[in-house]
């Protein structure tokens, strides 16, 4: 039995059909045999036609339906549209959420290696200030905020403690228990999947760690978290000064954990651009996604870079269940 790699086509108003096509053309027949797309069959075909891409696509009804390995297999999700690149937000939201729900259900099967979602605009979650990470953590009934988002490149990985929330809310959301639980998840995953004990650097929240004032988050929350983790024999250092760690010292760590989204995502994207993938830890299955957005400014321009999606596919093939 060939285990499958599921790819949710994601937001239709995006570069997703382009990166799916470009990735497909670069994959080996061995990997093509494993790929199944979750999308709308007619919409995907219409977008390929609009982009002047020639590709054989077949609608399937089950994961194990036998299809020639050079044909792109699609499990259908309904969506209402007239123009393939002009669809209402309401219809996009329903389509993406239906795709994620089906992807979640299928990923629980033993014949699925893992789940990849192509980029999704956060508006599909109806202004709930969440992303796919939080959505799937909820579907998986993850407890104690123990899920973790990792952005992984070949050189360094990063993880934010808080994810898709406003800066003004970061300090209020930080808790010792959350930091400890997420770093325990990270440490466990590195040991289980990558077969190594990671060296983890934890960043402070404030400029210069607020000089470790008594009322700072560093003193009240972050340092106590690090002490607990060290007592658990986890290799962790910090709090590290965030404004200089990415100059050179990041090379001394396997992963850097920041307190909020952009604190660690801006540096890694600046350093490695598309040479990274987004991984959600703590779920019942492996979930990854390209480390970039929907890039609506590039639609129909044939300039999208598919390298991050290819890295996702190869990562799931190697480390999936």
Domain ranges of the chain: 1-142+283-321, 144-282
Across the chain, what does the average pLDDT equal?
94
Protein fold of 1-142+283-321: Isopropylmalate Dehydrogenase (3.40.718)
Report d(CA 261, CA 265) in Å as an integer: 6
Contact 137, 285 (CB under 8 A): no
Report d(CA 164, CA 125) in Å as an integer: 12
pLDDT above 80: residue 310: yes
**Nearest C-alpha neighbor of 20 from the set 129, 147, 116, 128:** 116
pLDDT above 90: residue 144: no
Q: List the end-to-end C-alpha distance of the chain, in Å, as a whole number.
A: 14
Question: Mean pLDDT across the stretch 313-317?
Answer: 96
Report d(CA 289, CA 10) in Å as an integer: 10
Stated pTM of the model: 0.93
Residue 127's pLDDT band (cuts 50, 70, 90): low
pLDDT above 90: residue 125: no
Contact 28, 136 (CB under 8 A): no
In 10 A of CB 3, how many CB atoms? 16
Percent of the chain with pLDDT over 90: 84
Taking CA atoms, 209 is separated from 114, 241, 243, 259, in Å, by 38, 6, 10, 12
Report d(CA 17, CA 14) in Å as an integer: 8
Encode 169-184: b = buried (16+ Cβ within 10 Å), e = exposed. ebeeebebebbbbbbb
pLDDT above 80: residue 107: yes
Domain 144-282 architecture = 3-Layer(aba) Sandwich (3.40)
Report d(CA 62, CA 29) in Å as an integer: 20
Which residues touch 197 (CB under 8 Å, ≥6 apart)? 187, 190, 191, 235
> Matching CATH topology for 1-142+283-321 and 144-282?
yes
Report d(CA 78, CA 59) in Å as an integer: 12
Task: Give residue 229's pLDDT.
Answer: 98
How would you class 28 by CB atoms within 10 Å of its CB: exposed for 0-12, middle for 13-18, buried for 19 or more?
exposed
Percent of the chain with pLDDT over 70: 99
Lowest-confidence range among 148-162, 197-211, 225-239, 266-280?
A: 266-280
Widest Cα–Cα separation across the chain = 65
């Amino acid at each position: 039995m060939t285990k499958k790699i599921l790819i949710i086509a994601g937001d239709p108003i995006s570069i997703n059909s382009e990166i799916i096509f470009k990735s497909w053309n670069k994959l080996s027949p061995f990997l093509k045999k494993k790929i199944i797309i979750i999308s709308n069959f007619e919409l995907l075909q219409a977008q390929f036609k609009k982009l002047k891409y020639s590709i054989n696509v077949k609608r399937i009804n089950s994961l194990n339906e036998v299809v020639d390995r050079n044909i792109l297999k699609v499990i259908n999700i309904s969506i209402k549209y007239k123009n393939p690149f002009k669809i209402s937000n309401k219809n996009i939201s329903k389509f993406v959420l239906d795709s994620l729900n089906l992807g979640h259900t299928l990923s629980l099967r033993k014949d699925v290696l893992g789940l990849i979602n192509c980029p999704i605009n956060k508006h599909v979650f109806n202004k709930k200030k969440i992303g796919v990470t939080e959505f799937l953590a909820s579907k998986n009934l993850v407890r104690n905020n123990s899920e973790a988002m990792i952005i992984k490149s070949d050189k360094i990985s990063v993880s934010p403690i808080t994810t898709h929330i406003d800066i003004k809310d970061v300090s209020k959301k930080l808790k010792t228990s959350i930091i400890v639980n997420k770093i325990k998840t990270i440490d466990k995953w590195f040991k289980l999947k990558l077969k190594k004990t990671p060296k983890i650097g934890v960043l402070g929240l404030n400029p210069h760690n607020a000089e470790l004032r008594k009322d700072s988050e560093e003193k009240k929350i972050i340092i106590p978290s690090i002490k607990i983790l060290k007592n658990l024999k986890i290799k962790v250092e910090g709090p590290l000064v965030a404004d200089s760690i990415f100059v050179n010292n990041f090379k001394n760590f396997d992963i850097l954990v920041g307190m909020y989204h952009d604190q660690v995502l801006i540096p890694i994207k600046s350093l490695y651009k598309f040479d990274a993938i987004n991984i959600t830890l703590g779920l019942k299955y492996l979930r990854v996604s390209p480390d970039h957005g929907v890039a609506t400014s590039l639609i129909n321009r044939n300039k999208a870079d598919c390298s991050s999606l290819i890295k996702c596919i190869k990562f799931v093939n190697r480390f999936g269940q």
